[in-house]
Amino acid sequence: MSDTKMTMTQKILAHAAGLEKVTPGQLIMAKLDLVMGNDITSPVAMNAFEKAGCQSVFDKDKIALIMDHFVPNKDIKAAQQAKQCREFAQRFDITNFYDVGKMGIEHALIPEAGLCAPGECIIGADSHTCTYGAVGAFSTGVGSTDMCYGMTTGKLWFKVPSALKIELKGRLPKWSAAKDIILHLIGMIGVDGALYRSLEFCGDGVATLSMEDRLCICNMAIEAGAKNGIFPVDDICRKYIAERTDRKYTEFSADEDAAYDKHIIIELDKIKPTVSFPHLPSNTKTFDEIGDIKIDQCVIGSCTNGRIEDMRAAAEILSGRQVAEGVRCIVIPATQKVYLQMINEGITQALVNAGCVVSTPTCGPCLGGYMGILAENERCVSTTNRNFVGRMGHTKSEVYLASPYVAAASAVTGRLSCPQDII
């Protein structure tokens, strides 16, 4: 055996490549456990598939096609793209095809459906595929042509990333959330601070975070430029997986003396509600730095913060209160299961009574698609993951990224607000 010490990500990639060891910068060909695409990116991969003359997929059970961006279809082009995906899924008998009535936002649905597990190597034609590192998998976003190659061969080339060690200590205070942790980190290191590196989380603070917290944090690893984000596999993770799949998986853990480019310690008890101001996720401020910012819209949902814990957080603030006059509050549960839980727990009724609108699961407004496009000079507080120029509509609109607590509090006051301001 080699004396080379590896990080968690490096061990997964070595295993997927059938190698005893890998080193940062090494090019490898790795076997894939899942290839995922959505209604926007999959048609591009399918066009490449046809152009290359491909006749089959490598494994119909290891491809997931999720109609989530513009479904139910918002226009003719969206309808054509979804139709192309449906026909491809039928042609190749794709097991994991999720359409209207069954679909959800891909990065919430994949873990919920048990399609990702520890030690697996996963690609998706969407940059936020890094979400599944929460379950101890290597998962990363790729281009549509890479998706085509993956669907056909079940393999893909990777350059092995180096890593940043992110040690979490302590426990979050009330009204601070996992979203605040990742915004704090991105604000600290910048949008390219982890460029083509793995963000590897560890420390005693991990045990205080739910799986939904970890999914939120890994989701935004790409916003620091990371190749992937990943959490260690512990009892919380094992229980989550056991409730969703019975297939065998392999756990990996970093060697104690693995090499990291940087070691960052985050003391969770010092994390404050944090907001990313326009037009970069790294432009973060806490409320002692924020003045009076009037808003026009709030969006609570997305692949970052559309899970049931996020809906409960929003309801905790909004129940018994009213959305401010002149403010639109759009709530988007990430999956059908989350939607049903909201109904069963009385969350939907509480939010509608507060003046919110509750949407079908969709990516919708996050990428300026539909269900909440911004006009010129409008401002939105959103639990989504990007606030680039024109991300949610007009190029002169503004998006402020925040947790469900902050978004809900802002909806009530009509201004960018800390939860403590109204509780």
| Confidence check: pLDDT of 115 > 90 | yes
Instruction: Give the pLDDT confidence of 171-216 residue by residue, as tens digits.
Output: 999 999 999 999 999 999 999 999 999 999 999 999 999 999 999 9
Q: What is the DSSP string of 384-417?
A: SS---TTTTB-TT-EEEE--HHHHHHHHHHSB--
**Given pLDDT bands bounded at 50, 70 and 90, which one contains residue 285?**
very high
Beta bridge partners of 330: 299, 357
Domains in the chain, start-ordered, CATH in brackets? Answer: 8-266 (3.30.499.10), 274-421 (3.30.499.10)
| Confidence check: pLDDT of 1 > 60 | no
Whole-model pTM: value is 0.94
Determine the average pLDDT of the residues in 153-168. Answer: 97
Which SS3 state, helix, strand or coil, does residue 383 take? coil
User: Within a 13 Å sphere around the CA of 354, how many CA atoms are in the beta-carbon half?
Assistant: 30
Determine the average pLDDT of the residues in 213-236. Answer: 97
Q: Rg for the chain (alpha carbons), in Å?
A: 21
pLDDT of residue 3: 61
Beta bridge partners of 206: none
Instruction: Give the pLDDT confidence of 408-421 residue by residue, as tens digits.
Output: 999 999 999 999 98
At 377, the amino acid letter reads N
8-state DSSP, 114: T
Mean model confidence pLDDT for the chain: 96
User: Do residues 294 and 384 lie in contact, with contact meaning Cβ atoms separated by under 8 Å?
Assistant: no
H/E segment holding residue 316 = helix 308-318
423: which 2 tokens?
A: 């509780």
Q: Can you state the percent helix, strand and coil of the chain, rounding each to 5? A: 35, 20, 45
pLDDT of residue 229: 98
User: Do residues 139 and 236 lie in contact, with contact meaning Cβ atoms separated by under 8 Å?
Assistant: no
Instruction: Give the pLDDT confidence of 299-313 residue by residue, as tens digits.
Output: 999 999 999 999 999
Percent of the chain residues past pLDDT 70, beyond the cut: 99
Query: For residue 179, how many other CB atoms are within 10 A of its CB?
Result: 30
Q: Is the peptide bond before 273 cis (omega within 30 degrees of 0)?
A: no
